[in-house]
Amino acid sequence: MAKDKPWSGRFTESTDSTVESFSASVDLDRRLYAYDIAGSIAHAKMLAHVNVLTLKECGAIVKGLEAIRSEIEAGQFAWSAELEDVHMNIEARLIDRIGEVGKKLHTGRSRNDQVATDLRLYLRDAIDAVRAAIAGVQHLLLEMAEREAETLVPGFTHMQVAQPITFGHHMLAWFEMLARDADRLQDCRGRVNIMPLGAAALAGTSYPIDREYTAKLLDFDAPAENSLDAVADRDFAIEFVGAAAILMMHLSRFCEEIVLWTSPAFGFVELGDAFCTGSSIMPQKKNPDVAELIRGKSARVNGHVTALLTLMKAQPLAYNRDNQEDKQPVFDSVDTMLASLSVFAGLIGSMQLNREIMLDAARQGFPTATDLADYLVRKGVAFRDAHETVGRIVRRGLDTGRDLSQMKLDELRAFSSVIGDDVYEVLTVEGSVKARDHVGGTAPAQVRKAIARARKRLPPVPGT
Ligand code: ARG
């Protein structure tokens, strides 16, 4: 005889013990308890609203569910793998607590629309939490950009010195990357915030339900249009994890730069001791492990995108149990993002800049060669010819071990007679950044304007 399962009526044998542990998801999905209870309370209230439950029955169910929430929060709830998942654990406990009336909660509902609803409610909160964490890092970046609006560093392409930039400008590039991440998540939130409840197993239900009513109680924007799609769709989870992977890719790129900058070969930056670790063999080492770990953790979120796409690609409509496997990638993406953002904020907050070394590096590698070419163009030379002439001047600098700004006027004029003594204004790295004085440019004045615009785009720091 089968026993102990809410669905055991048509079964004659008990579940094999290997199947029991194989199919149980409660260890993971118990994390959804608050959303499961909120969804059940709204469902019960809707059933009372349309007279499928009496007000008294609804009241008992709501009270019972609230008591269960307190039990879980007090750590007094006995989760059981035999009851498979968070949904059946809570329902069984409800019946336990309030008796027969508890058996009426599942009227007009299935675990299929229930779990899809829970996951959407969970993700809605997760998106809000991640967006707040992103904004926290963005505020820090703006502070750094403000402080370092005039700090000069080499700008690289191909990791070769390209043109001088301001460190503030560099921080604002990171800011933009995070701004897109926050936007992407917010855009995804719109598609997350659609309510599956009412789809029941797949076809809807024969009770006179009011889905708008439930949606309103749960703050959903609307009920899902199609009952099959409502239970089968996990696009919102894929999108969310996709946005998470892009965010983690950004953090990984920032961390890669931090790893380079802290290498003694660069020496641009020193991280706080609290955010570094030592070596068990080399006493001199101070390693940027935190940055490396964030870079490493981006790999697992990339994996989660692949896992979810693969999970969904061969599923016929409507619900299939495969979907239970969506939890681990989703939960781990949330955890990884929140942990990474939090430690990243600490990491960049601990950064000490070696401004002298940065300035010195900004002067190496003929970083003002483009400025000299632009100067020649302003004096009437065609850009291609100017490029060629400056190339030859650089060659001479390489052969004689000097930067452009260290060459004598006569020496420069030997390459082009249009060069005058005003050329030295453009040959300094300070002059070079100052000249890039347009929207999106690296000039300190533009960095300050960009910061002012960025501040307006950001939500205020929570708690201020
Ligand atoms: N634990 C299941 C999940 O996460 C709940 C839905 C189960 N539905 C079913 N028909 N077996 O997807």
Q: 99 C-alpha vs ligand 1 centroid, how far in Å?
A: 24
Would you say how long the chain is, in residues?
A: 464
With a Cβ cut-off of 6 Å, ligand 1 is lined by 25, 29, 85, 111-112, 115, 319, 321, 323-324
Of ligand 1's listed atoms, the one at least distance from the Cα of 85 is 1
Query: Span 310-328, mean pLDDT?
Result: 98
For 55-79, the pLDDT digits (tens) are 999 999 999 999 999 999 999 999 9
- The continuous run of DSSP H or E covering 337 comes out as helix 327-349
Q: Examine the pLDDT at 189 and tell me if it is beyond 70.
A: yes
pTM for the structure as a whole: 0.94
Mean pLDDT score, 111-135: 98
Ligand 1 center to 23 CA (angstroms): 10
- The DSSP bridge partners found for residue 269 are 353
| Atom 11 (ligand 1) nearest CA | 321
Which residue's structure tokens are 């059940």? Answer: 40
Contacts by residues 389-392 (CB-CB < 8 Å, ≥ 24 positions apart): 389/415, 389/416
- Pocket probe for ligand 1: among 84, 321, 327, the residue whose CB has the most ligand atoms within 8 Å is 321
Question: How far apart are the CA of 234 and the centre of ligand 1, in A?
Answer: 13
- The Cα–Cα gap between 114 and 220 comes to 14
CA of 88 relative to ligand 1 center, distance in Å: 10
Q: Whose CA is nearest to atom 12 of ligand 1?
A: 324
CA gap 363, 404 in Å, rounded = 10
Count of Cβ atoms closer than 10 Å to residue 325 Cβ: 14
Residue having the nearest C-alpha atom to atom 7 of ligand 1 = 111
pLDDT tops 90 at residue 7 = no
Q: Which residue has a Cα nearest atom 4 of ligand 1?
A: 324
**Residue 227, CA atoms < 13 Å, CB-side half-sphere:** 13
Backbone angles phi, psi at 163, to 5 degrees: -145, 155
Q: Say how many Å lie between the CA of residue 168 and the centre of ligand 1.
A: 50
Q: Ligand 1 centre and the CA of 123: distance in Å?
A: 18
pLDDT at residue 281 tops 90 = no
Residues 195, 265: Cα–Cα separation, whole Å:
55
Q: Are 118 and 39 in contact (CB under 8 A)?
A: yes
Please report where in the chains the tokens 């955890």 appear, as a residue.
335
- Interval 146-162 mean pLDDT: 96
> Considering only CA atoms, which residue is closest to atom 10 of ligand 1?
112
Looking at the DSSP bridge assignments, the partners of residue 165 are 153
Q: Is the pLDDT of residue 117 over 60?
A: yes
Q: Residue 1 above 50 pLDDT?
A: no
- In whole angstroms, give the CA distance from residue 464 to residue 454: 18
Pocket test for ligand 1, best of 111, 202, 315 (most atoms within 8 A of CB): 111
Bridge partners of 163, per DSSP, are: 155
Q: Annotated active-site positions, please? A: 158, 279
Q: Whose CA is nearest to atom 2 of ligand 1?
A: 324
